[in-house]
Chains A and B, each alone.
Chain A
Amino acid sequence: MRRKFWLLAAVASFVAVVSLQSASAMTRLEAATPGVTKGEIVLGGTFPLSGPVAGYAPIARGMEAYFKYINARKGKDGKRGVGGRSIVWKYYDDVYNPANAVQLANKLVLEDKVFAVVGTLGTENNQAIRPFLNQRKVPQLLVSTGASFWGLQYKQFPWTMGWQPDYISEGRAYGLWIAKNHPNAKIAVFFQNDDYGKDYVRGLKIGLGAKRSLIVSELSYEVTDTSYASQLARQKASGADTWVAITTAGTPTVRAFATAKALNWKPDTIVLNSVAATEAVMSAVVRSVGADFVNGTISTAYLKNPSSPKYANDATVKRYKTLLAQYGPDGADPNNAFFYYGFAKAYDMIKLLQASGKNPTRASLMAATTRMNWVNPYAIPGVKVKTSRSDRFPISQIKLIRFTSPSWTEFGSLIKGR
């Protein structure tokens, strides 16, 4: 009985503390620029740290590790952090639900008073928070999605900017490659039934151009599907010899390949979207269907592959592995491409902050985003991070890669995305 009283008291005090905390927040003096104080710059973002797409969580943690490194090391100006200010990185779990993303974005801006929202993951999540952030004039930068409208709609939403090559560009690269190298192919496209997958298909058709009629089967899958046998049986029956698989990283990709093999269908040419072309996924695929089935698969990349023998002695990759071991979560696997992606993104964010002047403001940060022009050492040699007032796609070059178990090899020259 008394136990229950204390439980109730605990709940009541929790509620009281939380409600009263706002009062103290109000009495703190508002900084001239939210999120920037003499010693700190506060950045924030939301990510799926739990739930079905928690596979992307290492992005946030990779960024965290890099920011910790920046805070610890002495930069070229002899100061730690950025100009002597430590980066405070606040990231929350939105379980990939846009409504949660909206509430958390409100928290980041109104309660945590972040300087900028960085790297939020998910097309719909970013779409949901975009109007609020633009209304409050909060930078929404380097979003973790390849939808093309961040870069295309900058006039309507000037505070929002993407980062990576967009899905349409990638699809286009595949289309061009197939049209050039397999002009008589019969193509089957298997894609995730959402804007992500549809963007790729759109790009593929643009790249194929007149050869768009080569597509003999265009079927999709839902995230709630437990088996793709139904769709892939149809694709096999269509007689296709080229298979373009737009399947997200993780189970969908492994399952797609395994199902194809189980149906006795071996397409001559396989194209896979870049998100799934990681070590972790490919090793599971190889384990399931054997290397012979997947050798020769084509994809694209714009970042160096940290597990590839080509970059085993690359200074940046080696440093990444050391930093991840030092500042990342315990047992972090450096071969997990999402940690690496987080590092690459955080690098560009730090460069942006450094380019925002001695006392960054939101306006100076946005000005810096219109003049990006540098080489990100995490990217494939030759790829430039470049923006202008009208070009709001920081990274748009990609390179084709081919799989030969256990790793991917780049080939050909850099392709311009836009």
Chain B
Amino acid sequence: MTAFLWSEFFQQITSGLAIGSIFASLALALVLIYRTTDVINFAQGEMATFTTYIAWSLMNHGLSYWPAFVLTLLIAFGGGVGIERVLIRPVEHRPEIVMIIMTIGLFIVINGLTGWLWGADPKAVDSPFPNKTIDVAGVAISTQDIGTFCVCIASVIVLWAFFRFTSLGLAMRSVAVNSAASRLMGVRVGWMLALGWGLAAVLGAIAGLMAAPTAFLDPNMMLVIIVYAFAAAVLGGIDSPIGAVVGGLTLGVTVNLLGRYVDLVGEELKLPTALAVLLLVLVIRPQGLFGRVIVRRV
């Protein structure tokens, strides 16, 4: 085993935080949908990839980064709302398993569409952040990673503020807690659910645009990331945005450190070990790190 260097240790941590931010961003989208509509959207990653391709197409057709970015978010919002109203609404009251199959079907369709429309070769997507690397005491930190991290933190703060301080956020929260009572209070429940999906799609689009410069845009970009994002979301507490971020960052760092310092684990077992650790946490604390305990009353 090579010598333990502090600079290398911190390098592993910073890299872990960088990739963890991407997990966290996608996990946020998952949490948002779950919290507002009680659905685990397996297609979240594919929706994110699809919207990132749209951004790439726009940029390829001459739009510069920020206009393309904003337009993509708008399209993502529309797409999310549309999917909720057309596909999710009809099966809302069916057993949970049916909803799961619906989102799986969505996953398959969007993944196939992406490959069909744009092909399998990776596309380069520009980053909004300058492509520089700073050296801090032997640890190389790229501005891209700092940017991704900041965007992730900003997202969770904006989301938190939205739920806490705006009437729309309050309405969405009330629908999640008790939709019948909310309806009696005059909340347009249907539109709140659609809004949840729309916002989650926007978050997913942001996650995709953050991921594309380093993960590289190909139809399967989010395939592995969604596994980590799902794990992060559940670890943090499936209904807690803060949990999603903490979960994502923790997972990113843990996988890196496990792979580097625990020789027993080796390359192949990095992911299974991280998942096992995660499941252990869940067995001890089933609601996740920041989740609320649901008490079932008879």
Q: When A and B assemble into the complex, do they touch directly, with CB atoms less than 8 Å apart?
A: yes
In the complex where A193-B268, A221-B267 touch, is A226 in contact with B225 (Cβ < 8 A)? Answer: yes
B167 at the interface (CB under 8 A from A): no
Chain B hits for A254, CB < 8 A: 122, 124, 216
- Cβ-defined partner of B214 (8 Å) among A54, A222, A224, A259: A259
A126 at the interface (CB under 8 A from B): no
Chain A hits for B12, CB < 8 A: 229-230, 233
Say whether B19 contacts A229, CB under 8 Å: yes
B144 at the interface (CB under 8 A from A): yes
In the complex where A237-B5, A251-B221 touch, is A226 in contact with B123 (Cβ < 8 A)? Answer: no
Interface 1/0s, chain A 197-239, versus B by CB < 8 A?
0000000000000000000000111101111011101101110
Chain B hits for A258, CB < 8 A: 213-214, 216
B18 at the interface (CB under 8 A from A): yes
Say whether A284 contacts B123, CB under 8 Å: yes
Say whether B216 contacts A336, CB under 8 Å: no
How far is it, in angstroms, between the C-alpha of A193 and the C-alpha of B270 when the chains are bound?
A: 13
Say whether A250 contacts B267, CB under 8 Å: no
Say whether B216 contacts A54, CB under 8 Å: no
Say whether A57 contacts B228, CB under 8 Å: no
A13 at the interface (CB under 8 A from B): no
Chain A hits for B11, CB < 8 A: 229, 233, 237, 263
- Measured CB to CB, the closest approach of chain B to A333, in angstroms, equals 8
Chain B hits for A222, CB < 8 A: 267-268, 270-271
B239 at the interface (CB under 8 A from A): no
B67 at the interface (CB under 8 A from A): no
Say whether B122 contacts A251, CB under 8 Å: yes
Interface 1/0s, chain B 182-218, versus A by CB < 8 A?
0000000000000000000000000000000111101
CB nearest neighbor in B for A56? B120
CB nearest neighbor in B for A221? B267
Interface centre among A219, A226, A251, A284 (most CB of B within 10 A): A226
CB nearest neighbor in B for A279? B121
Say whether A57 contacts B271, CB under 8 Å: no
Interface residues of A in 43-57 (CB under 8 A from B): 50-52, 54-55, 57
- Measured CB to CB, the closest approach of chain B to A52, in angstroms, equals 5
- Measured CB to CB, the closest approach of chain A to B204, in angstroms, equals 16
B115 at the interface (CB under 8 A from A): yes
B287 at the interface (CB under 8 A from A): no
Say whether B120 contacts A55, CB under 8 Å: yes
- Measured CB to CB, the closest approach of chain A to B1, in angstroms, equals 11
- Measured CB to CB, the closest approach of chain A to B5, in angstroms, equals 7
In the complex where A52-B220, A250-B218 touch, is A234 in contact with B19 (Cβ < 8 A)? Answer: no
A261 at the interface (CB under 8 A from B): yes
A280 at the interface (CB under 8 A from B): yes
B273 at the interface (CB under 8 A from A): no
In the complex where A222-B270, A234-B8, A284-B124 touch, is A227 in contact with B19 (Cβ < 8 A)? Answer: yes
- Measured CB to CB, the closest approach of chain B to A292, in angstroms, equals 13
Interface centre among B8, B220, B255 (most CB of A within 10 A): B220
Interface 1/0s, chain B 12-25, versus A by CB < 8 A?
10011011001000
Chain A hits for B213, CB < 8 A: 258, 288
Interface 1/0s, chain B 123-135, versus A by CB < 8 A?
1100000000101
B166 at the interface (CB under 8 A from A): no
B105 at the interface (CB under 8 A from A): no
- Cβ-defined partner of B216 (8 Å) among A50, A52, A55, A284: A284
CB nearest neighbor in B for A261? B133
A264 at the interface (CB under 8 A from B): yes
A281 at the interface (CB under 8 A from B): yes
Chain B hits for A57, CB < 8 A: 120
Chain A hits for B135, CB < 8 A: 264
Interface 1/0s, chain B 107-124, versus A by CB < 8 A?
000001001000011111
Say whether A233 contacts B8, CB under 8 Å: yes
Chain A hits for B228, CB < 8 A: 226
How far is it, in angstroms, between the C-alpha of A238 and the C-alpha of B224 when the chains are bound?
A: 29
- Cβ-defined partner of B115 (8 Å) among A54, A227, A231, A262: A54
Say whether B19 contacts A226, CB under 8 Å: yes
- Measured CB to CB, the closest approach of chain A to B27, in angstroms, equals 13
In the complex where A230-B259, A288-B213 touch, is A262 in contact with B140 (Cβ < 8 A)? Answer: yes
A287 at the interface (CB under 8 A from B): yes
How far is it, in angstroms, between the C-alpha of A284 and the C-alpha of B221 when the chains are bound?
A: 15
Interface 1/0s, chain A 247-258, versus B by CB < 8 A?
000110011001
Chain B hits for A288, CB < 8 A: 124, 213, 216
Interface centre among B216, B219, B255, B256 (most CB of A within 10 A): B216
Say whether A50 contacts B112, CB under 8 Å: yes
Chain B hits for A51, CB < 8 A: 220
Chain B hits for A238, CB < 8 A: 2
Interface residues of B in 1-56 (CB under 8 A from A): 2, 5, 7-8, 11-12, 15-16, 18-19, 22
Chain B hits for A261, CB < 8 A: 133
How far is it, in angstroms, between the C-alpha of A288 and the C-alpha of B219 when the chains are bound?
A: 18
How far is it, in angstroms, between the C-alpha of A193 and the C-alpha of B213 when the chains are bound?
A: 24
Contacts beyond the supplied A250-B218, A262-B214, A263-B140: 9 A-B pairs with Cβ under 8 Å: A51-B220, A229-B12, A230-B15, A230-B256, A237-B11, A250-B120, A261-B133, A284-B124, A336-B121
Closest 4 CB pairs of A and B: A229-B15, A287-B124, A262-B142, A264-B140
Interface residues of B (CB under 8 A from A): 2, 5, 7-8, 11-12, 15-16, 18-19, 22, 112, 115, 120-124, 133, 135, 140, 142, 144-145, 213-216, 218-221, 223-225, 228, 255-256, 259-260, 267-268, 270-271
List, sorted by A's number, 19 A–B pairs whose CB atoms are closer than 8 Å.
A52-B220, A52-B223, A55-B120, A219-B267, A224-B271, A225-B224, A226-B215, A227-B15, A227-B215, A229-B11, A229-B256, A230-B12, A230-B256, A237-B7, A250-B121, A250-B218, A258-B216, A264-B140, A284-B124
